[in-house]
Amino acid sequence: MLWLLLLLPLRTLGAFEKTLGVSPDLISKYVPSKSNTWTCLDGSKTISWDDVNDDSCDCADGSDEPGTGACPNQPFYCKNEGHIGSFIPSSRVRDGLCETSCCDGSDERPGVCGNVCQEVGQAYKKKVEEEMKIRKTGAKIRSTYIAYAHKEKKRLDGVIESSAAEIAIQEKEVSRLRDIAERAESLSAAALELKQQSPLYISLITHSNALKSLQREHKKHLEREKELSNILDALRTGYNPNYQDMAVLEAVRGWEEIAGLPHINDVGKDSVSDEEAGVQEDTSSAVVETNEELDDEMWSAEELDKDLDDLLNSDYVSLLLEHDEYVQSPPEGSVLFNLASYLPDSILPQYEEFRDALTTWLVTLGVIKGETPSSTDTSRSRQALTDAENNLNSLKKEKQTAENDLKEIFNIHGYGYEGEWKKLDGTCLRTDVGDYTYEVCLFGEAKQIPKKGGSTFSLGKFASWNPSTDVKPGDESYYQKQIYNRGTRCWNGPERNVVLLLSCGTENVLNSVVELEKCEYQFTGTTPALCRPLDGSEGKDGKKSYGGKDEL
């Protein structure tokens, strides 16, 4: 009877060993049949219950040996009571080594590894609690970042609204000023027409036209003279003196006199050279220049040849206006009667508009002569228009910038769905490592600054969040990595670049910098922006808002 009592705990122990290494979701399947048999989990074989966990692999799927490591590639489950259960591969079961992830020592034969789950569990719990504390504090700070983004949105909405209103006003102002400028300019055109009726101007134009015509005729004559001299040269050198044709001889002699050439029959005799004989290409050059005495203001032939074209290309209208201003230079003290000079700039455009309208009316009615705005008035109204247009453009630019900024705030690829990163835009984190101070200005640029002097290298500008294709934009891991690239090119190497790895922390700090490969740097740091709230109100896709508030 006593042996039966002794057997009971052994049987219980045996049953316990049969489920050694079995994961909790399969435990219900490790029960013997009434006839003490057991069917492999893949249903391929029925074996004796005694063959389960007997250190000999019987089932094709290895399911009969969950706790011995006898079958390859089986998961072994450590219960780790007092801590967290975990799986290890069967290859590490009963290998004589105590696995850290199997703190209960169940992977080894009894007595090999102690059960340290209580201590491990407590240390783990403490660590988790500390992390939770950090996350809780961080999440509070993060919520202020989100609030900042909303404030920023409001501000930008305001900027967009007010600049839109100002744009509408300014557009009207631009069209009003354009109207004034165009009217002033068209009045100036009428004034110019009037000025062009001046006898002096008409005479100047007539002189110019006459000179141009003279120049044209002169050129024609030069051409003709050249042709004639060629004919006469040919006659002179080609005629036959033996024919005694007096008319030809007379023509040759006459030409030789005009051109200053020796008589052709004397060429070759005595000392008359070919050159002197005028046997040359350009006989026209041989034409005798008459040395006239020129008056002081007369142009020489050379001046006529070189400078006449420039003179005839003069801008006569500009000359007319200059002349007009010259003869009309304002008398001293005229500012006294210039009403515009007493008016503040703000009402000047209205005054000018009124004055122009009145002037036009008076001219139309014949009350006053066509006195028109001066070129100064015209350029002033043009200037006022340009200033207004510039103002309009800067308003439009301001609105555009605000719209772009607004788009980025709640953008998962920009400052996050909740805008939690907006606050950190431009925040610079620094740390000293070796001979350098490393700096990263978030969403800006990363730098390597030598402590003992020398050039600062750009390590790249912000390019993107985690670009890995297996990371979904908006997920936590997406925001745990930032890429900065296109920094200063490395000597014989790539452009410097940085991978910034971030995790939740109560402060924005840079913790470490390592140069993993030449000119490829890895920064690590913490930020409250990554401390998502503990209550899990935020969906995995990051689309649920923090603290139950509905954003957007």
Q: How far is the CB of 482 from ligand MAN (least distance, A)?
A: 19
Position 155 contacts ligand MAN (CB under 6 A) = no
Position 421 contacts ligand MAN (CB under 6 A) = no
SS3 content of the chain, % helix, strand, coil (to 5): 50, 15, 35
Return the number of the residue (90 or 485) whose C-beta is nearest ligand MAN.
485
Return the number of the residue (498 or 529) whose C-beta is nearest ligand MAN.
498
> Of all helices (H) and strands (E), which one includes residue 406?
helix 375-409
Q: Report the C-alpha gap between 151 and 407 in whole angstroms.
A: 14
Position 457 contacts ligand MAN (CB under 6 A) = yes
Position 497 contacts ligand MAN (CB under 6 A) = no
Report CA 111 to chain centroid distance, whole Å. 68
Which amino acid, 87? Answer: F
Position 337 contacts ligand MAN (CB under 6 A) = no
Q: How far is the CB of 17 from ligand MAN (least distance, A)?
A: 58
Q: Report the C-alpha gap between 16 and 77 in whole angstroms.
A: 14
Q: Report the C-alpha gap between 430 and 444 in whole angstroms.
A: 13
Q: How far is the CB of 453 from ligand MAN (least distance, A)?
A: 13
Position 106 contacts ligand MAN (CB under 6 A) = no
Which amino acid, 268? Answer: G
Contact 60, 42 (CB under 8 A): yes
Position 491 contacts ligand MAN (CB under 6 A) = yes
Return the number of the residue (308 or 490) whose C-beta is nearest ligand MAN.
490
Position 523 contacts ligand MAN (CB under 6 A) = no
In which residue are the tokens 């014949």 written?
Answer: 366
Options 54, 81, 398, 515; binder of ligand MAN; rule CB under 6 A = 515
**Beta-ladder partners of 485:** 461
Residue at shortest CB range from ligand MAN = 491
Q: How far is the CB of 490 from ligand MAN (least distance, A)?
A: 5
Return the number of the residue (252 or 459) whose C-beta is nearest ligand MAN.
459
Position 490 contacts ligand MAN (CB under 6 A) = yes
With CA atoms as reference, report the closest residue to 407 among 148, 160, 168. 160
Which sign does the torsion angle of CA 395, 396, 397, 398 carry?
positive
Per CB under 6 A, which of residues 339..368 are in contact with ligand MAN?
none
With CA atoms as reference, report the closest residue to 102 among 37, 47, 21. 21
Furthest C-alpha separation in the chain: 177
Counting residues that bind ligand MAN (by CB under 6 A) gives: 7
Options 59, 232, 442, 519; binder of ligand MAN; rule CB under 6 A = 519
Binding site for ligand MAN (CB under 6 A): 448, 457, 490-491, 515, 518-519
